Amino acid sequence: MKRSSSWWQRARFSIAEPPILSLESIYPLLMLAVLSLLALAFHFIRIQFSEAVDFSLDWNLLLSWIPLLIAFFAKAISKRFGPLPLVVGILSVVWLAFFPNAPYMITDLVHLSVNYESDRTWHDTIMLFYYAQISLINGLVSLYWFHGTWNRTYSKRTGTILLFLSFPLGGLGVFLGRILRLNSWDFFHKPGQFFLNVFENLNDRTALLLIVEFGMLLGTLYFVLWGLLRFRVRR
C-alpha cells in the first residue's frame, strides 16, 4: 500500500523532460470535474421529482470548461517550451471569446420562481447557485492560469494590463450573451456582425451596468483567489 501511494504521488505523463503533464498539474481539473458532476446530480434529482429546469444549464456548464481547458493548455506549453508570444496571443483571443460563459451562469438566477412554501423553489435556488458557482470557479481558475502565462510570456506589466482588461470584457460578454443573445461562436462565425453589435450597444445603460458591475465582481473574486493561493507571510 505504501509503495502504491508513493507511485501515485510521483505519477506523471511525459513525452519529454520536464514533463508536459503531471498528476499535480491535472489535479485541479479532476477536482473541478467532480464538482461539475455534483452539479449534474442536482439536476438529475430535479428531473426525478419533477421536470428538468432547463438543459441549457448543462450546456452552459460545459461551455465554462472551454476557457479552463484553453488556459490549462496555454499554461502547460508555456512552462514546457518557454515564451511563445504568437501562440499564447492566439490562445488568449480564443480564451477571451469563451471566458464570459463562466460568469454568464450567474444570470441564470433570474429563472427562479418564487414560492416560499414549495420545496422545489429551494431546491432550484441551491441548484442554480451551485451551477453558477462551479462555472464561475472554472472561469476564475482559467484567468489565474492565463495571468501566470502572460507574465511568463510577455512581462509582468503586460500580464497585469491584460488581467485588468479581462474583468470588464467578461462583463461585456455577459451583456452580449444575455441581452443580445449572441454566443461565443458568433465571434468566429460572424465577426463583422459581432463587432457591429458591440459598438452599437456600448452606450446602452444595461451594457455599462454589466461591464462595470460584473467587472468589479470578477476583479474582487479574482483577487480573493489570488490572495488565498499566493499570499505568504515572510519573517
Q: What is the pLDDT of residues 205-228, one digit of tens each?
A: 888 988 999 999 999 999 998 888
Q: Helix/strand/coil (H, E, C) string of 206-231? A: HHHHHHHHHHHHHHHHHHHHHHHHHC
Is residue 1 a part of any domain in this protein?
Answer: no
Is residue 9 a part of any domain in this protein?
Answer: no
Is residue 12 a part of any domain in this protein?
Answer: no
Using DSSP's 3-state secondary structure scheme, residue 105 falls into helix
Is residue 41 a part of any domain in this protein?
Answer: yes
DSSP state of 12: E
Q: Between 132 and 201, whose confidence is greater? A: 132
Q: Which domain holds residue 177?
A: 20-230
Is residue 33 a part of any domain in this protein?
Answer: yes
Distance CA 174, CA 211 (A): 8
Is residue 92 a part of any domain in this protein?
Answer: yes
Report which of 90, 57, 59 is spatially closest to residue 73, judged by C-alpha positions: 90
Please compute the mean of the pLDDT values over residues 11-24 and round it to a whole number. 52
Q: What is the pLDDT of residues 74-96, one digit of tens each?
A: 999 988 888 889 999 999 999 99
Q: What is the pLDDT of residues 35-45, one digit of tens each?
A: 999 988 888 88
Question: E strand or H helix at 172, and its extent?
Answer: helix 156-178
Report which of 148, 146, 151, 50 is spatially closest to residue 90, judged by C-alpha positions: 146
Q: How many domains would you assign to the chain?
A: 1
The residue type of 73 is F
